[in-house]
Structures are given as structure tokens and as C-alpha cells.
Chain A
Amino acid sequence: MSTRRLLLRASDLIGRPVVTIDEGEDVAEVKDVVYGTADAAVLGFTLNRRGFLGGPMRQVLAWADVAAVGRHAVMIATAGAVTENDDLLHDVRASRRRNVLGSDVISDAGQRLGKVTDVVVMVEKRPEVVGYEITGGDLLTPRAGTRVFVPVPDTLAVSGEALMVPAAVGDFVTDDLDGLGAAVQRFRQHLRTTS
């Protein structure tokens, strides 16, 4: 897996074909991006069969088995990487397929920041959720109604149907994806110094 630092929207990965390096075979396409709340790590993908009539697959793709994420495809070494990974399957079933897109983001002070339109993933040594793209609520005036990026701590909190973030995040909201990387570092440093 490449160690180049890259910020991307999780939804950009949805629908990308999964292609083997050894034979160039198009074995599946990404259905869901799955991440864990404990350390914000991207765990892998659920998959669809290729083609319009292809439905969801029982097999999944763990991130550890991803060779590279390219602009047009997710690359794996061999078709054997698409597997019935017990850990990942268990986590997905236990989650009751909780899709965070459309969920509210609420601060730990009880204020609603907005609604999630996407999840931002940083691909470095390990893939990690570093922020949410949200449609800003009234609290973020003058950014209310616009899409902004909110950095998240390295441990994510979920409460019912809402995603929780520290109230201090309001000072680290950015308007563009490129600025989110620096905002995440400053936000997490702020949390470490104030805790």
C-alpha cells in the first residue's frame, strides 16, 4: 500500500471497480466503505457484483488486502483478496448497516452543527477517517447551508443516529478539502493540550 498522504471523500470510492493486479480481472465493485469508531480506521469495503444486474456480494474486501487505491479502481493482488473475512463481516452485521451519510453531527455541548454529506478519509500509513463533510447548520453562520469540512478526533463517538464531536471543533471548520489536513492536526493537538 502506498504511503503517500492523500485526502479523499469516502463516497468517491463507492462504485469503483475492484481489479486484480495479477490478471487485470474486474472482480467486484465497492458498495460500502466501512470504518471503525474506536480508532477511526477504515476497515474495508462491502462489495457488489459487476454489471447492472449484479447484487451485493457475501464476500468483503479488508483494507489490509488492498494493494492500491487509484483514481479509477481499487487494486488487489489476486482475486483471493475478496474473501469472507470473519471480523469485517461480523462488524458489518453487528452495525445493522449504519450508514452515516445524512446523519446529524452534534457537539458534545448538545449543539447541532449540520448534516453529513460525506466522510473524508486520509490515506497515509493506514487509512483513517479524519473529517466529515457537512451541510452547515445555523450554528455555523455565516457558513449555514454551505458545505464545510469538520475535523474529527482520532476516536469517534456515535450516539443513536447522531455523530458526536467536541464543541471546540467549531474553531477548526474549513471550507475546502485541501485545508482539512492541517485543520485535523491543529484540532487534535488542541484536544491533547486541553485534556
Chain B
Amino acid sequence: MEVAVAIVVILAVLVLVAVLVQRRRRAGGVISVETRPRARERRGTGRRT
């Protein structure tokens, strides 16, 4: 009985950790990058695959 409870608890913890890690990986933000005005003229011309 104790073994079964331990397994369930361990699985629950693993699932919780996986959910938290996944949420962290997917979390977004607003990123500022240092650019020079001249560099911006080339925006949108990136290689398309």
C-alpha cells in the first residue's frame, strides 16, 4: 500500500515539474535588442526556407 502511494506521489510530482518547466519554456515577454538605424533597412529580407 505504501509503495503504491509513494509511486503515485512521485508521478504527481514529476507531472507537476513537467508542467512548470513547459510553462516556463513557453513564457513570452517583450525583448529589446540594440540595433542601429541602418541595420533596420534590411529587415524582412531574411532567407525563406
Chain A contacts to B: CB under 8 angstroms: 10-11, 14-15, 30-39, 41, 43-44, 46, 48, 52-56, 59, 62-65, 80-81, 83-88, 91-92, 94-95, 97-101, 118-119, 156, 158, 163
Contacts and interface: CB of A to CB of B under 8 A. Distances in A.
B28 A84 contact: no
Contact of B25 (A33, A55, A81): A55
A28 to B, nearest CB: 12
Nearest to B44: A64
B36 to A, nearest CB: 5
B34 A158 contact: yes
Interface of B: 22, 25-26, 28-37, 39-40, 42-49
A41 B44 CA distance: 13
Contacts of A36: 32-35, 39-40
Interface on chain A toward B: helix, strand, loop, or mixed SS?
mixed
Contacts of A39: 35, 37, 40
A37 B39 contact: no
